[in-house]
C-alpha cells in the first residue's frame, strides 16, 4: 500500500469546496467531450456522472468520431419519499432533458440518463425548483439515507422516516458551490468550511440506512452505518448501531470483499444524529485515503475490530457506549400490492422491472399522479409505492392502471417480484456484462427451471449486476448473478432473504444462457432435501459451498 494520498484526495483538497473547474467546463461551447479528471470527480458530489454510450463507442471510434457523451443525474429522495407534484416534475424532465425514462434505484433514488452537456445545468436547476436536490447523491459524502418505504401510520414508521430526513439534511455538505454552479447564486468570499467533512471530505462514499427488525427491506447491514430500531409495545426504546457494511469487490482481488455491518453499541432514541456524525468522523479520520479500493469504512472495521470502533466512538462522544446485544431476527415484508396504512387510507405497491419507468407505465403513473395525487415512495427494491390513496378510490385506481396494461405484483412470479437488477450497459462505465437489459431473459430461464422442479411459487430473491461493485446488493440475497466479462457471470448463493448472511461463490464464468441450467440441480436438491419452510439461500448455506458445488457438477446429491 502506498502512503501517498490517491489522486482524488488532491482534487478534493484543491477544489475550493467542490467548485474546481466545473462551471467553466460545463459552459464550454462544444456540445460533447470528456471532462477533465478534476471536473469529472467533483461533479459526482453534485449528483452527476459523465458517461458515454458504450453500445456505439467502438463503431464511432472506427468512423473517427468522438464517443456519445451524456450525463447521468441522480436525485436524492430521503427514505424514497416524493410528492405527486415532484413526480410530475421529474416525469416532465425525463422528456425535456433525458432519454424519456426515469430509473428508480436500489437506494430509493431516481436517476436520469442521456442528459447532454447543455442540459445539465437546467435539469439540475429544475430538480432544485421542485424542492429536490442532486447534491451529495454521489461522491465521497453521506449519500441518500434510506429506510423502509412502508407508509405505515404508526409512531415507529413516522420516526424512521423523520430520522432519514433529518440525517439527510443535517449531513449535507455546507458548501454553496452547488448553488453557485447550477443555480446562479452569487459567490461571496472564501470557500466555506466543512465543519463535519473537512477540506477533503470523506475517503469514500458513505451510506446510512435505518430499519426495523420486522422490515429490513433497506438491507441495513449492507450500509456503512445502520440504525436498527428497538421497540417495546409500539414505542421506540433505542437503536442498535451497526457499522462497516458494503458490497463492492473486484473479481480475483481477495483484498476487496463484500461485508455485512457489525452491531457496535446501543444508543437512546434521540441519539441518532449525534452518533451518525461520530461515525462519519471515524470514517473521515481512519479511512484509507491512499487506495480508493480500500477506503470504505468496512475495511477499518474488519481490520481494527468492533471493540476498537466502539472505543473510538466512545472517546469521540465523551461517554461510555453499551455494547450491542445480538441483532434481533430480521424479516422482509412484501410491500407490493394493496395494503392498509392504518389511518384509513391505502397504499398500492407496484413492481417496476429493474426500476425502469418507461412507456405505458410512465404514462399511467403520470395520469395517476395528476388525478389521484398519491404519495409516491421509491423502495430499495426499485419498486414504487403509491401511498395515501382513499379507500373509495381503490377501484378507480386499479381500473386506470389496468387500462394502461400496468403489471401488478400478482401478475408476477415471486422470483420476478423480488428480483433486482442494476443499470449496467449501455451507460455504466464499470459494467463488465449486461445487467438491466438481460434481467427479463434471465428471470424467464430461472422461472422455467423452478417450475420444472415444482418450485414456481417459492419466494426467492435473485439480484443481478453487471460487475462486482454490487449495486443491486447481489451478495446479500438468495442468488447473486454478477457480471464477469461480456456474456459471462459469477453465481453466488447461500445469502439469506433477510439480508443477514453473505453468499458464497457457486460457479464462475457462467454463460448467460447457462445460468438457469447451472442452478437447476441445486433447486432439485433444495426441493428434495429442504427442512420445513427452508429458503433457497438457507438451504445452500446449510449444505455449504463444497456440497453445493458438488451438486452442480453432479458429483453428489445434497
Ligand atoms: Fe452503485 C458505482 C449505479 C447502488 C456500489 N453505481 C456506480 C456507478 C455510479 C458507476 C460508476 O462508478 O461509474 C453506477 C451508475 C450506473 C448508471 O449508468 O446509472 C451505479 N448504484 C447504482 C444504482 C443506480 C444501481 C441501480 O440499478 O439501482 C444505485 C443508485 C443508488 C442511489 O440512488 O444512490 C446504486 N451501488 C449501489 C449499492 C446498493 C446500496 O447502496 O444499497 C451498492 C452496494 C453497497 C455499497 O456501496 O457497498 C453500490 N456503486 C457501488 C460501487 C462499489 C463501491 C465499493 O465500495 O467498492 C461502485 C464503484 C465505485 O464506487 O467505485 C458503484
Ligand atoms: Fe455499474 Fe457495476 Fe453498479 Fe451495475 S453493479 S450499475 S455494472 S457499477
Among positive and negative, which fits the CA dihedral 514, 519, 524, 527?
Answer: negative
Report the distance separating Cα 340 and Cα 250, nearest Å: 43
Position 556 scores a pLDDT of 55
CATH 3.90.480.10 positions along the chain are 337-412
pLDDT in tens, 43-79: 999 999 999 999 999 999 999 999 999 999 999 999 9
| Total Cβ atoms within 10 A of residue 369 | 21
Q: Tell me: pLDDT of 22 over 60.
A: yes
Establish whether residue 420 lines the binding site of ligand 1, counting it when its CB lies within 6 angstroms of any ligand atom: no
Q: Measured in Å, how far apart are the chain's first and last C-alpha atoms? A: 43
pLDDT on residue 250: 96
Q: Which residue has the cell 451438486?
A: 551
Å from CA of 252 to ligand 2 middle: 17
Tell me, in angstroms, the distance from the centre of ligand 2 to residue 358's CA.
Answer: 20
| Cell numbers describing residue 337 | 400490492
Q: Alpha-carbon distance 118 to 75, whole Å?
A: 18
- Model pTM? 0.97
Mean of pLDDT over the chain: 96
Spatial distance between the Cα atoms of 74 and 148, rounded to a whole number of angstroms: 20
Within 10 angstroms of residue 555's Cβ, the number of other Cβ atoms is 9
Per residue in 190-212, pLDDT (tens digit) is 888 999 999 999 999 999 999 99
Cα(435) to centroid(ligand 2), Å? 8
Cα 431 from Cα 207, distance rounded (Å): 21
Per-residue model confidence as pLDDT tens digits over 146-160: 999 999 999 999 999
Show which residues are catalytic: 74, 143, 205, 207, 422, 428, 467, 471
Measured from the CB, is residue 355 less than 6 Å from ligand 1? yes
Cβ of 296 below 6 Å from ligand 1: yes
pLDDT score of 558 = 43
Ligand nearest to the CA of 475: 1
The C-alpha atoms of residue 426 and residue 444 are separated, in whole angstroms, by 22
Mean pLDDT of 342-371: 98
- Grid coordinates given for 346: 391505502
Helix (H), strand (E) at residue 10: helix 7-13
For CATH 3.30.413.10, the residue range(s) in the chain are 143-172+202-333, 415-552
Substitution site in 424, 433, 476, 483 for ligand 2 pocket (most atoms within 8 Å of beta carbon) = 424
CA 105 to centroid of ligand 1, rounded, Å: 9
Ligand 2 atom nearest the C-alpha of 433 is 7
Mean pLDDT of the region 342-366: 98
pLDDT exceeds cutoff 60 at 557: no
Band of residue 188 on the pLDDT scale cut at 50, 70, 90: confident
Domain 415-552 has CATH 1.20.1050.10: no
Confidence of residue 34 (pLDDT cuts 50, 70, 90): confident
Q: pLDDT digit string (tens) for 81-131?
A: 999 999 999 999 999 999 999 999 999 999 999 999 999 999 999 999 999
Residue 279 pLDDT = 98
Q: Which residues line ligand 2 (CB under 6 A)?
A: 422-424, 428, 430-431, 435, 465-467, 469-471
**Closest Cα to residue 330, out of 492, 246, 220?**
220
Report d(CA 107, CA 144) in Å as an integer.
Answer: 7
pLDDT > 90 in the chain, percent: 96
Residue 1 has pLDDT above 50, yes or no: no
Q: Specify the fold of 337-412.
A: Sulfite Reductase Hemoprotein; domain 2 (3.90.480)
Q: Which ligand is nearest to the CA of 297?
A: 1
Identify the CATH homologous superfamily for domain 143-172+202-333.
Sulfite Reductase Hemoprotein, domain 1 (3.30.413.10)
Amino acid at each position: 500500500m502506498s502512503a501517498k494520498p490517491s489522486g482524488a484526495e488532491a482534487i478534493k483538497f484543491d477544489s475550493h469546496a467542490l467548485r474546481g473547474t466545473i462551471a467553466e467546463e460545463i459552459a464550454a461551447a462544444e456540445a460533447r467531450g470528456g471532462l477533465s479528471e478534476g471536473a469529472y470527480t467533483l461533479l459526482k458530489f453534485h449528483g452527476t456522472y459523465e458517461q458515454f454510450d458504450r453500445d456505439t463507442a467502438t463503431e464511432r471510434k472506427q468512423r473517427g468520431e468522438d464517443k456519445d457523451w451524456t450525463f447521468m443525474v441522480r436525485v436524492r429522495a430521503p427514505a424514497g419519499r416524493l410528492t405527486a407534484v415532484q413526480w410530475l416534475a421529474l416525469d416532465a424532465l425525463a422528456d425535456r432533458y433525458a432519454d424519456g425514462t426515469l430509473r428508480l434505484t436500489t437506494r430509493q433514488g431516481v436517476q436520469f440518463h442521456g442528459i447532454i452537456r447543455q442540459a445539465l445545468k437546467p435539469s439540475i436547476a429544475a430538480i432544485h425548483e421542485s424542492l429536490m436536490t442532486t447534491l451529495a447523491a454521489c461522491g465521497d459524502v453521506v449519500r441518500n439515507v434510506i429506510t423502509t418505504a412502508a407508509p405505515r401510520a404508526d409512531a415507529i414508521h413516522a420516526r424512521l422516516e423523520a430520522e432519514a430526513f433529518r440525517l439527510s439534511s443535517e449531513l449535507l455538505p455546507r458548501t454553496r458551490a452547488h448553488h453557485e454552479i447550477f443555480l446562479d447564486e452569487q459567490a461571496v468570499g472564501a470557500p466555506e468550511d466543512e465543519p463535519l467533512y473537512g477540506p477533503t471530505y470523506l475517503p469514500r462514499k458513505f451510506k446510512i440506512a435505518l430499519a426495523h427488525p420486522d422490515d429490513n427491506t433497506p438491507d441495513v447491514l449492507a450500509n456503512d452505518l445502520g440504525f436498527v430500531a428497538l421497540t417495546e409495545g409500539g414505542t421506540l426504546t433505542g437503536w442498535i448501531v451497526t457499522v462497516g457494511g458494503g458490497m463492492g469487490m473486484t473479481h480475483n482481488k481477495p483484498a476487496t470483499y463484500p461485508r455485512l455491518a457489525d452491531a457496535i453499541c446501543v444508543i437512546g432514541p434521540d441519539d441518532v444524529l449525534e452518533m451518525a456524525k461520530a461515525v462519519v468522523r471515524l470514517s473521515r479520520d481512519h479511512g484509507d485515503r491512499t487506495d480508493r479500493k480500500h477506503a470504505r469504512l468496512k475495511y477499518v472495521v474488519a481490520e481494527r475490530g468492533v471493540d476498537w470502533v466502539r472505543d473510538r466512538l466512545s472517546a469521540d462522544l465523551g461517554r461510555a457506549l453499551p455494547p450491542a446485544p445480538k441483532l434481533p431476527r430480521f424479516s422482509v415484508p412484501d410491500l407490493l400490492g394493496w395494503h392498509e396504512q392504518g389511518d384509513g387510507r391505502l397504499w398500492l405497491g407496484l413492481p417496476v422491472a429493474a426500476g425502469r419507468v418507461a412507456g405505458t407505465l410512465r404514462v399511467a403513473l403520470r395520469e395517476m399522479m395528476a388525478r389521484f395525487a398519491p404519495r409516491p415512495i421509491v423502495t430499495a427494491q426499485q419498486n414504487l409505492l403509491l401511498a395515501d390513496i382513499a379507500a373509495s378510490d381503490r377501484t378507480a385506481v386499479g381500473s386506470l392502471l389496468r387500462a394502461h396494461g400496468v403489471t401488478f405484483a400478482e401478475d408476477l412470479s415471486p422470483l420476478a417480484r423480488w428480483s433486482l437488477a442494476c443499470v449496467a450497459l449501455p451507460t455504466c462505465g464499470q459494467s463488465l456484462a449486461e445487467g438491466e437489459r438481460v434481467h427479463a431473459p434471465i428471470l424467464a430461464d430461472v422461472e422455467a427451471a423452478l417450475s420444472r422442479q415444482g418450485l414456481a411459487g417459492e419466494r426467492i430473491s435473485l439480484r443481478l449486476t453487471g460487475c462486482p461493485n454490487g449495486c443491486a446488493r447481489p451478495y446479500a440475497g438468495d442468488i447473486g448473478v454478477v457480471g464477469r466479462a461480456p456474456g459471462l457471470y459469477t453465481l453466488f448463493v447461500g445469502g439469506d432473504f433477510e439480508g443477514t448472511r453473505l453468499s458464497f461463490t457457486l460457479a464462475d464464468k457462467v454463460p448467460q444462457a447457462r445460468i438457469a441450467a447451472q442452478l437447476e440441480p441445486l433447486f432439485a436438491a433444495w426441493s428434495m432435501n429442504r427442512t420445513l419452510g427452508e429458503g433457497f439461500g438457507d438451504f445452500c448455506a446449510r449444505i455449504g459451498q463444497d456440497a453445493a458445488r458438488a451438486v452442480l457438477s453432479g458429483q453428489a446429491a445434497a
